[in-house]
Structure 1
Amino acid sequence: MNPVSEKTQVIVIDPSPHAVHQRNERNMADIPIRFRMPESAHGKVEARIASDSSDAQWRTIGSIDGASFEGQLDSVPVGRYRIDVRLSASSSESDKPVVASFSVEPVFVGDLWILAGQSNMEGCGKLLEVETPQEGISCFYLGDRWAMAEEPLCWLNDSIDPVHRITPTPQHPDITDIIARQNRTKGAGLAIPFAKELLKHTGVPVGLLMCAHGGTSMEQWSPERPGDTGTTLYSAMMRKVRKLGGKAKGCLWYQGESDANEKAAPQYRERMESFVAALRRDIGDDELPFIYAQLSVFYISGREAETWDRIREEQRLLEDGLGRAAVVPTIDATLTDPIHLDAPSLKEVGKRMAWRALSLVYGIDAAEPGPRPIDFSWNDDRTELRIALDGVNGRLRPVRYAFGFAADHSGSPLPVTAVVPDEGDCLLLRFERSAPEGTRLWHGNGLNPAVNVKDERGIPLLAFGPILL
């Protein structure tokens, strides 16, 4: 068998430039090495990692006896690398020891974060003054390709999974790939701001796995939904995770708008619990971090505000029920259209998710989660209600009147005003008359509430209610 010429083109399958390989509990990862040759070869395959500071020793990772090779570099520490690979022929076959070689860079060992949910996770902000790409933040796009993360992250028609692809029709030719790329004006999201905040605080490279799809419900995300791999949202997501080694650091989730209706809302909590349980089971991590956004505002009248409120309240309560999970408020967001967050709001939500991840996953106290109610106590005649808060960064910002609160009893509204006392660690709600037993209280209720209770970090009071008092 003749050795392959040094000039022969090696077809590299793995690793890919900008790929992020999920580190294990020892802060290391095994990096797969796969390539094909245009003709059969025989010899030893060696590889090494090269960083900015030094080049490691060559390691033998296997031998080739044919036209393809599969092996791996074991136990590569967290960081950025160039991967060098060379094929050496046996001395009996050639005077030249190295007959083929290639290098791939940058290749990272770091953390993978799944991006799932519907359109606000895809990103619908205007593509103006978007986040600039940054090395060390990569995206595994829907087309199963690694690249530096750059807005927009979501291109549905690039997907190799049929569930994501949109078929153009004569009536809607504007969704064809070429026209969409020429005319697209929206697509900025929360994921790159999230990743930048993580990288700034940890120095660990971040890989983003885009799996979101706009307009989708929890029923569509069900792990039990029948269909072949790639024909359902859950199976397409897990196919991507398994292709990258089957592990991830955590999941970011933004969804709920499609379930804010009379039919779906009653099943929302159960479906969310089933989804998270299946995700943790299939990744093999019972404590996989799950960080999700609470439902925001909606600029369209006519929808039932009660179901919108119900989804928000279920999301608030799920935080304790899901274990290693965190809910992020979005009730103060501004929109780019009737339902989608604009780019500045998505940047802020991405940072809030990062702050929760830093605390929950990395043990870094970058910020408190933001104000949320932990106790309700009345004065003697039930005309003043004190709401004790947890998670406040510093203190509440002073305001003359606190907006966004509503109360009723047996369906009849109860006039109430709210203030932030000087100490800034609680809220006082004052009723015109004694509030009867069974009074219900909301914060941020309705489709488009006006709210202004925020802490010094700018994080708003989590929407809640109805709470029975």
Structure 2
Amino acid sequence: MQIGAIIDKGPMDWQIVQQTNGSANISLSGSWTAKEDNAIEPKVFVRIVNEETGEVIIPWKGSANLGKAQWEITIADVPAGGLYRLETCLSLNADHYKAMEWAVRGDMIHHIGVGDVFVIAGQSNAAGYGKDPIYDPPELGLHLLRNNGHWALAAHPMNESTGIIHEANREVSNPGHSPYLSFARKLKRELGYPIGLIQTACGSSPLSAWNPEEDGYLYRNMMDILQSQGVGTIKGVLWYQGCSDTAVDESATYLDRFKRIVARLREDRNDAELPLLTVQLNRWVHPVHETSNQNWGRLREAQRQAARQIAGVYVVPAIDCSLSDSAHISASSNLVLGERLARTALKYLYGKPFICDAPDIEEAIRIGPAQIRLTFKHISDRLFVYDEGADGLPFVAEDEEGFLHAVGYELEDPHSIAITLGREWIGECWVHGASEQNPKSFVPVDFASHLPMLSFYGVRVTEQKPGGATL
């Protein structure tokens, strides 16, 4: 039988505890046993030390005695950082603070950190299916709540299902590399404290599986994981989903349904400003069906609009990412994608001066019989099109007669490109940019960041009034 202080409830080895304003409170409870019959006012004590050096971070603090050899304590203001070791001991004497190093032994919790915790949700590219080799090693301070219900050192594949305790998000095949170790590494490097990840994604999952107003089984699974693990506040959600909703009805309703998910998630987590870092869909190298390009365009536009219309939702592009197969981001591009997400978090969640916003179309204006000026925001240097010819540009206009393709272009200023179409349009006109299922290879970028523009679909071309105003 064990003696001394026993921890029955508290953080796990390797767990990252969410910090608030630079610190966290850590609660523990348990029992104690002692062989000595002459124990006078036995009391359990707890302290926290730096795991690398053994330096004391929080000195010995006495717990509350609950009777029947039970104890509990909340250690307040544990500073963001780590890794830490949490130690307990049992003092048998009334003079508790005398020679604590010779108190009766107690349980310990190893490799814990205080930092920020992010939940990963979505489908296969959130689960991670990069199959090419890349150097993206584990690192102390980057930890993962695995599907077996235990915290561990984060390593690929993050969504593998050994010992899984929640089968709702079990992958059918073994996953691979994901963007989120790269994401966490960048944050830890810039912030100086640990990052924890909680994986709840599932390959091939449609939005309905995440919408509690529809099927919602993965939403419930995500909430069950957080509740069962005692995860309170989280820093944000990492969301990458959409391929399974590129059908006519699903793509047309995606934005409204996604808004409902965000609202419900914030309500259930009691965090009205909970941020979501999202990824606009990558390309899919697959035979195109009759409505594929339209559906993919609508879906990507919904993702672009979500970041515009929902406060605290952010989007990064993936249209330029290389693939491991017809649909899944390669490991090498996952590194890039993870850093894009991290820069976005560093700017908008932490107030750091990072360039992170992808070029985003602001307006499309008619400037001639068959000419359109496309103006973009989030240009730090200049719009760059790789010196492509007009036929290589990923822009296409559409009127009641069909599609109009570019036959010429001019980069008018750092923010704008004027494209000349093969004919004058009839009636109303809309313009699309890199919206197809598998758009053209070269997408315009901001030269400073080399971030590609966000794909867009169905942006109406407006008429220019004399003096430069638009109708």
What TM-score does the superposition give when structure 2 sets the normalisation length?
0.86
Contact 1:47 1:83 in 2 (8 A): yes
Deviations 1:307-353 (A, max 9, x none): 11111111111112211111111111221111111111222111111
Contact 1:368 1:393 in 2 (8 A): no
When residues 39 and 86 of structure 1 are mapped into structure 2, their CA distance, relative to the original with a 3 A threshold, is closer
Instruction: State the match for 2:189 in structure 1.
Output: 200
Deviation at 1:20, TM superposition (A): 0.7
Distance, in Å, in 2 between the alignment partners of 1:311 and 1:107 is 40
When residues 244 and 338 of structure 1 are mapped into structure 2, their CA distance, relative to the original with a 3 A threshold, is same
Instruction: State the match for 2:466 in structure 1.
Output: none
Distance, in Å, in 2 between the alignment partners of 1:140 and 1:36 is 26
**1:16 partner SS:** coil
1:430 equivalent in alignment to 2:420: yes
Contact 1:61 1:71 in 2 (8 A): yes
* Bigger mean CA deviation after superposition, 195-204 or 60-69: 60-69
1:319 equivalent in alignment to 2:338: no
Deviation at 1:423, TM superposition (A): 4.2
Instruction: State the match for 2:464 in structure 1.
Output: none
Distance, in Å, in 2 between the alignment partners of 1:224 and 1:66 is 47
Contact 2:3 2:33 in 1 (8 A): no
Distance, in Å, in 1 between the alignment partners of 2:401 and 2:153 is 53
* Equivalent residues in 2 for 1:205-354, closer than 5 Å: 205-224=194-213, 232-242=217-227, 243-303=229-289, 304-354=292-342
Deviation at 1:130, TM superposition (A): 4.0
Deviation at 1:429, TM superposition (A): 1.1
* Equivalent residues in 2 for 1:57-72, closer than 5 Å: 57-63=59-65, 65-66=67-68, 69-72=71-74
Instruction: State the match for 2:14 in structure 1.
Output: 18
Contact 1:44 1:64 in 2 (8 A): no
**2:432 partner SS:** strand
Distance, in Å, in 1 between the alignment partners of 2:408 and 2:130 is 33
* Cα root mean square deviation, aligned: 2.8
Deviation at 1:356, TM superposition (A): 1.0
1:467 equivalent in alignment to 2:453: no
Distance, in Å, in 1 between the alignment partners of 2:307 and 2:75 is 39
* Bigger mean CA deviation after superposition, 82-91 or 37-46: 37-46
Distance, in Å, in 1 between the alignment partners of 2:61 and 2:8 is 18
Equivalent pairs counted in the alignment come to 442
Deviation at 1:247, TM superposition (A): 1.1
Distance, in Å, in 2 between the alignment partners of 1:61 and 1:357 is 38
Distance, in Å, in 1 between the alignment partners of 2:371 and 2:214 is 49
Q: 2:444 aligns with which of 450, 453, 458?
A: 453
Q: 2:370 aligns with which of 377, 383, 394?
A: 383
Match for 1:345: what amino acid? Answer: S
Contact 1:399 1:420 in 2 (8 A): no
Deviation at 1:282, TM superposition (A): 1.2
Deviation at 1:424, TM superposition (A): 3.2
Match for 1:359: what amino acid? Answer: K
1:151 equivalent in alignment to 2:156: yes
**2:260 partner SS:** helix
1:126 equivalent in alignment to 2:157: no
Contact 1:217 1:259 in 2 (8 A): yes
Instruction: State the match for 2:430 in structure 1.
Output: 440
1:29 equivalent in alignment to 2:24: yes
Structure 2 gap ranges (5+): 462-471
Distance, in Å, in 1 between the alignment partners of 2:387 and 2:107 is 66
Distance, in Å, in 2 between the alignment partners of 1:46 and 1:336 is 53
Distance, in Å, in 2 between the alignment partners of 1:165 and 1:415 is 44
Match for 2:359: what amino acid? Answer: P
**1:17 partner SS:** coil
Instruction: State the match for 2:469 in structure 1.
Output: none
When residues 390 and 142 of structure 1 are mapped into structure 2, their CA distance, relative to the original with a 3 A threshold, is same
Instruction: State the match for 2:178 in structure 1.
Output: 189
1:395 equivalent in alignment to 2:385: no
Instruction: State the match for 1:78 in structure 2.
Output: 80
Contact 1:13 1:36 in 2 (8 A): no
Distance, in Å, in 1 between the alignment partners of 2:267 and 2:232 is 11
Match for 1:54: what amino acid? Answer: E
Contact 2:366 2:373 in 1 (8 A): yes
Contact 2:132 2:332 in 1 (8 A): no
Distance, in Å, in 2 between the alignment partners of 1:254 and 1:23 is 25
Distance, in Å, in 1 between the alignment partners of 2:407 and 2:191 is 43
Distance, in Å, in 1 between the alignment partners of 2:336 and 2:304 is 19
Deviation at 1:110, TM superposition (A): 0.7
**2:77 partner SS:** strand
**2:17 partner SS:** strand
Distance, in Å, in 1 between the alignment partners of 2:67 and 2:213 is 43
Distance, in Å, in 2 between the alignment partners of 1:420 and 1:158 is 58
Deviation at 1:11, TM superposition (A): 6.0
Instruction: State the match for 1:171 in structure 2.
Output: none
Distance, in Å, in 2 between the alignment partners of 1:27 and 1:417 is 56
* Bigger mean CA deviation after superposition, 402-411 or 60-69: 60-69
Deviation at 1:419, TM superposition (A): 4.1
When residues 396 and 204 of structure 1 are mapped into structure 2, their CA distance, relative to the original with a 3 A threshold, is farther
**1:188 partner SS:** coil
Instruction: State the match for 2:468 in structure 1.
Output: none
Distance, in Å, in 1 between the alignment partners of 2:249 and 2:309 is 23
Distance, in Å, in 2 between the alignment partners of 1:72 and 1:146 is 21
Deviation at 1:43, TM superposition (A): 2.7
Distance, in Å, in 1 between the alignment partners of 2:345 and 2:427 is 39
Structure 1 gap ranges (5+): 167-174
Distance, in Å, in 2 between the alignment partners of 1:339 and 1:418 is 32
Instruction: State the match for 1:99 in structure 2.
Output: 104
Match for 1:220: what amino acid? Answer: A
Distance, in Å, in 1 between the alignment partners of 2:33 and 2:407 is 77
Instruction: State the match for 2:121 in structure 1.
Output: 116
Contact 2:374 2:418 in 1 (8 A): yes
Deviation at 1:157, TM superposition (A): 5.1
1:372 equivalent in alignment to 2:360: yes
* Equivalent residues in 2 for 1:406-417, closer than 5 Å: 406-417=396-407
Match for 2:241: what amino acid? Answer: Q
Distance, in Å, in 2 between the alignment partners of 1:318 and 1:439 is 23
Q: Percent identity?
A: 27
